[in-house]
Amino acid sequence: MTALIEAHDLTRSFEVSRGMFKGKRTLHAVNGISLDIRQGEVLAIVGESGCGKSTLARMLLGLLPPSAGAITLEGQDIRSLGRKGMARRVQPVFQDPYSSLNPRRTIASIVALPLEVHGIGTAAERRKMTIEMLDKVGLPQRFADRYPRELSGGQRQRVAIARALVMKPEVVVCDEPTSALDVSVQSQILNLLMDLRRELNLTYVFISHNLAVVEHIATRVAVMYLGRVVELAETEALFKAPRHPYTKALLASVLTPEPGLGIPDTGLGIAFPDPLNPPSGCPFHPRCPERLPQCGSVVPQILRDENGAVACHLHGQAPAPH
Amino acid sequence: MANSSDIVLEIDGLSVDIRTAGGTLHAVRDISFSVKRGETLCLVGESGCGKSMTSLAIMDLLPKAATKSARRLAFAGEDLSRAGKSRINALRGNRMSMIFQEPMTALNPAYTIGNQLVEAYCLHKKASEAEARERAVFLLGKVGIANAAERLGQYPHQLSGGLRQRVMIAMALMCGPELLIADEPTTALDVTIQAQILRLLADLQQELGIAMVLITHDLGIVARIADRVAVMYAGQIVEEGPTTSLFNAPRHPYTQGLIECIPVPGRTEPGGRLGVIPGVVPSLVGEVRGCSFRDRCTKAQQACLDAPPVRETADGHRWRCILENAA
């Protein structure tokens, strides 16, 4: 598979005010991430809140410029593509279908807006494309002239998907697309996303904290912790044989609906560290059940091999860069 | 068998109606269940099924527009369905307490957690502030908060989400309740923290012999923590039974559909199609007749237009359906 999007040493920091008389501090939301998104894959990005997964998503969409590093789309720097050029090829679906749709526009005009902005077709052609797209996401034509408030959460998320796909993008970045939905609606949306992927040959970046959903839908998984990717692997390999202790803890905390198994002990301490004041060395070391003496002082290098990538002292050092 | 004095909460025929501009919304419709000492009952269902309204009705915390009625709503043998405000006030936060979903909004930002922890204890137990603080420190330690004495002086905003939820749990346990109602206690938290909080809740509940009603939409949580499960749909309990029996042999088409909807490693094929429940929840405004699930049910028949019978097996597994076994 060829890389469609490549992120090179991506970093994004924010200046955070700490109160009236204190100075500002720098928060490294994304801290040196390099990864590629391959044609046709579903790359899941998982991690706890505050790990930087949404910041990474916004950068991949071109909505937020990186502080350092670069993103290329088929070898071309996305800065040279411009906002519109980027929007033609990479589109988002956000978490909350209640706040991501303009309440004062009809469904048809919400879905047609990207076409309008890009000056595609006449009004009649746009209407036709919109109706076709709504049909593809399972919304009959009678929904076209309704308003978001008349729709259920699942129907709204279908509208958000139709809006993302109407430009025929290659990549769709889904940021927690089902976490605001009930389980019976979630399964409908996941089925729809999988159908559309096959039909339209789409590539997904799928951000989620729900590991059962990730295991179901993703082909590759990147695990983030405090702004870094700590493990990256094919889905099956990651769930079968996780290498990073953090990945192990994450997988252990998944509550599958199997009665009698009880509630697992993750072995993690309670506290997710303060991202403003990250631990020295490996950022995971204070919570790590398998830490080594050097973990508190030396940042582990990322080891890339045929199985993916892992940043942990338990898994050796990468050869020094030449 | 447990004897009847072990029953902490007994609800018979509870209904909650809400006045809306469009008419009366029947949020909870004639539900009955009971919870014993040391037992965990999970109320599970999707948005709008009435599970939160049920918990608020038990605690007498319903919004003004809502009214409740019940044949019997008994706590520790005492019928509270017609009890006055002062009686409820004496019990609530004392012998029965509640953990809310969102610790950020359930804690008062203007008071230290110490103040909030000791308030109910001083009030209900007529204890001195020093005694109350001692108990607060003890309980904060119990819920896994390090340097508890120091934490008492902190404000909610100084704590992380996981810590705030632990404070909520400690607060609910201050007066040694016999009944604990936890409404989506971990929904706002990350999975790693969720597992820790649930483990803690389950351990404390066992240790202290509390009767717990846990409300959630997450079947994973239900399977792991519940002794018994009640599945709610459109304001009714459509199925209730021991956890293993309910998951291994769900009887109601809605329960079966719900379980099919979630991806389970090993059971669902990766990337394959998940089960769906077609259609949407019916409106509960005005008169609701017959089986409320019939419009979404693949096995619906003419007979579903009438109220379905309640069926029961020997192990106390009950469901409302015209079918003996819909599977």
Structural domain includes residue B64:
yes
Strand, helix or coil for residue A276: coil
Burial level of B307, CB count in 10 A (0-12/13-18/19+)? middle
For chain A, give the percent of residues with pLDDT over 70. 96
CATH for B79: 3.40.50.300
pLDDT one-digit tens code per residue, A66-109: 999 999 999 999 999 988 999 999 999 998 888 889 999 999 99
B279 shares contact with chain A (CB less than 8 Å): no
Answer for the pair B96, B65: CB distance below 8 angstroms, yes or no.
no
| Chain B CA closest to residue A194 | B271
Residue A257 touches chain B, beta carbons under 8 Å:
yes
Q: pTM of the predicted model, to two decimals? A: 0.89
**Residue given tokens 């994450």 in the structure block:** A250
The number of angstroms, rounded, from the C-alpha of A71 to the middle of its chain's C-alpha atoms is 15
Across the interface, of B190, B199, B260, the residue whose CB is closest to A263 is B199
Helix (H) or strand (E) holding B26: strand B23-36
Task: Give how far Cα A25 sits from Cα of A9, A49, A126, A228, Å.
Answer: 22, 20, 48, 19
Inside any domain, residue B163: no
* Residue B120 included in any domain: no
pLDDT of A30 higher than 70? yes
Is B89 part of a structural domain of the chain?
A: yes
Residues in B closer than 8 angstroms to A188, CB to CB, are 276
Is B160 domain-assigned?
no
Taking the C-alpha atoms of residue A264 and residue A250, their distance in angstroms, rounded to an integer, is 11
- Residue that the structure tokens 């951000």 belong to: A207
Residues 70 to 129 of B: which have CB under 8 A from any A CB?
none
Q: Does A77 touch chain B (CB under 8 A)?
A: no
Chain B contacts in chain A segment 136-175 (CB below 8 A): 152-153
Query: Domain span at residue B289?
Result: 4-95+175-320
Is B161 among the domain residues? Answer: no
- A236 interaction partners in chain B (CB closer than 8 Å): 270
pLDDT in tens, chain B (327 residues): 445 669 999 999 999 999 988 899 999 999 999 999 999 999 999 888 999 999 999 999 999 999 999 999 999 999 998 888 999 999 999 999 999 887 777 889 999 999 999 998 999 999 999 999 999 999 998 887 878 888 999 999 888 777 888 899 999 999 999 999 999 888 877 888 888 889 988 988 999 999 999 999 999 999 999 999 999 999 999 999 999 999 999 999 999 999 999 998 878 888 889 998 988 788 889 888 899 999 999 999 999 999 999 999 988 999 999 998 755
Instruction: Tell whether B75 is covered by a domain.
Output: yes
Q: List, in sequence order, the alpha helices (H) in chain B.
A: 51-58, 85-91, 103-106, 113-125, 129-142, 148-151, 161-173, 191-208, 219-225, 243-248, 253-261
Determine, yes or no, domain membership for B153.
Answer: no
Count of domains for chain B? 1
Chain centroid offset of residue A76 CA: 21
Tell me which chain B residues have a C-beta less than 8 angstroms from the C-beta of A46. none
